[in-house]
Structure formats: structure tokens, C-alpha cells
Amino acid sequence: MNIIFNIEGGLGKSIIATAVCEAIKKKYPKDNLIVLTSYPEVFTCNKNVDKCFSHNNLNYLYKDYIDNKKVKMMLHNPYNETNYIKQSEHLIETWCNMFEIPYNNEQPKIYLTDREVKFYSNLFVSDKPIFVLQTNGGAVNQEIKYSWARDLPFEVAQKIADEFSSEYNILHIRRENQFQLHNTTPVTADFRKLAVLIQLSSKRLFIDSFAQHTAKALGLNSVVTWVANNPKQLGYENNINILANPETVVPELKGSVFSKYQIDGNLIEFPYNSESEIFNVEEIINAIREVE
């Protein structure tokens, strides 16, 4: 039987989906798992995936894997499920339950080859331990480049960079249109290179975006900051998860539909007087020193 598993959404969601692939393969070990994703590089060398298609190239999918074949479709989006909207369980569990797949605490996994690690490590040679930082996420074309609902405020991020710059080489994962921090080196690279960088790092501070999922998939502990989203639903217990401070302003929520806040940081929903109220920077610094 061919199992067609479709993954809609961003890079982080595809990384999370590697755990679902493992659970599917445990239930259907003799069947072919065919993954459809916008990020096929996440599934390279993944033994649970028999074939991976990019959404940009689905040529002959029907002819080769569906037409006159025994097939099972797993196409629905877990973001539309009640338990996801109510934030009552981890996304992986919601995803598995949606497809009637037993969930046994499967976790994301990424498989890097020895040659990748050896070759890409040469791109990140450092005379000090490496500290990897991701402060901003979201879609490339989003109108608002800083999302208060997800991203780390600039002043907080800069204080952290200044605090650790003498001890670590701080590599800041960012796109060219995202803000630059002093005392850091910006890094823009493809996913597999960034995964090697994260594997090489000694310290990690991330937001709820692809880097925290990558670190988990590599078995690494991180400090992760959270504003609108919930670590019980999208995070991991091995991390130190820093929650935003209580809100200080009653927000305008007329645009809320299936979640309290829009993750792109809708301007009228901002529930604080200023970004300085969102996090206690000392709490984050202490957590970074603690995590190993």
C-alpha cells in the first residue's frame, strides 16, 4: 500500500512531521510512505520515508503512486483540529490522532551524513565556542518584519548578544531583510548547512521557529522564548522554555478567529505598553548559562 502524507506549512512544521512519519511507519512497516512537502531537504536520509515529493514538483504522483494502486491518503491539516485550536496537546499527538496512528512519544529527527557534517563544518570554523541565535521567523514575504507575537524584541536580543559576545562566537540566523545585531555574525544558508551549524553549537537561544525544532531533531537542548504560542503544544520538555510576562494591556481581538493572536504580529492586538514589558532579559541570560 502507498500512504500519501501531505504536509502544509513552513519549515518547522515539516521538521515536526518527521515524528509523525516515524509513528506512521511503526503502524504500517511494510507499506510505502510518500511525503509531500515544501521542504524535501528535511527528509533526506530519513529511513521512515520511502519517497519525498516537493510541492513544487508533483509530476507523475497520481500515475505512479495512486492510479490502480492500493492507497491511503493522509492529507488533512492538524491546525484545523479541535485539540490544536484548544491547545490541549502537542501538535505531534494531534496529528497522529487525526490519522488514527498510535502516538508513543515519537520526536522529530533529522539525519545528517558524515560527509555533510565534515564539509559544512568548514564554513563555521571558530576560535570560540559557537552560540547560535534565531530571533525572527515567519514567511519571507510577510509585511511586518518583526512579529511581537513570536520574535525576540531587538533590545532584549542585543543585550543578550552583548552579554555573551566575549565568551562565544554568536552566529545569528537571519534573512537579509531582518534586523542585524551588533557583536554577532549573520548567517543565511540553506537548511542542511544550518542544521550542521546548530549541531556544532555550544549554546542556543531560539524563538518558536524552525531552529528550535532542528535542535530537538538533533538531540540538543536550547533556550526558547514564547509569546503567543504554547510550548506544551509546539515545544519540547528538554528545553528551557521562557514564557512572556503577563499582558499589561487589554488587546483588540476583533480579528481573532481560531487563535487568540495572529502569529504575524497584528499591530492592534499588541497586549503590552512596549516591547520592554514582554520578557525579563535576566531570566533569559540565566537560562542560557544553565542549559547544556
Give residue-wise pLDDT tens across range 49-84: 999 999 999 999 999 999 999 999 999 999 999 999
CA-CA distance, 250 to 154, in Å (whole number)? 23
Q: What is the per-residue pLDDT for 175?
A: 87
Chain-wide mean pLDDT for the chain?
Answer: 96
Give the tens place of pLDDT for each residue, 183-204. Answer: 999 999 999 999 999 999 999 9
Enumerate the CATH 3.40.50.2000 domain ranges in the chain, comma separated. 115-290
**Burial of 282 by CB count in 10 Å (0-12 exposed, 13-18 middle, 19+ buried)?**
exposed
Q: What's the mean pLDDT in 238-260? A: 95
**pLDDT band for position 251 (50/70/90)?**
very high
Amino acid in the structure at residue 7: I
Q: What's the mean pLDDT in 209-236? A: 97
**pLDDT band for position 141 (50/70/90)?**
confident
Using DSSP's 3-state secondary structure scheme, residue 129 falls into coil
Place of cell 495572529: 262
C-alpha cell at 127: 576560535
Burial 93-106 (b: 16+ CB within 10 A, else e): bbbbebbebebeeb
CB 165 within 8 A of CB 159: no
Q: What is the per-residue pLDDT for 71?
A: 98
Residue 142 scores a pLDDT above 80: no
CB 132 within 8 A of CB 91: no
Number of neighbours of residue 140 by Cβ within 10 angstroms: 6
Provide the CATH topology of domain 115-290.
Rossmann fold (3.40.50)
Q: Which of 129, 124, 181 has its CA nearest to residue 289?
A: 129
Q: What's the mean pLDDT in 25-45? A: 98
The model's pTM is 0.95
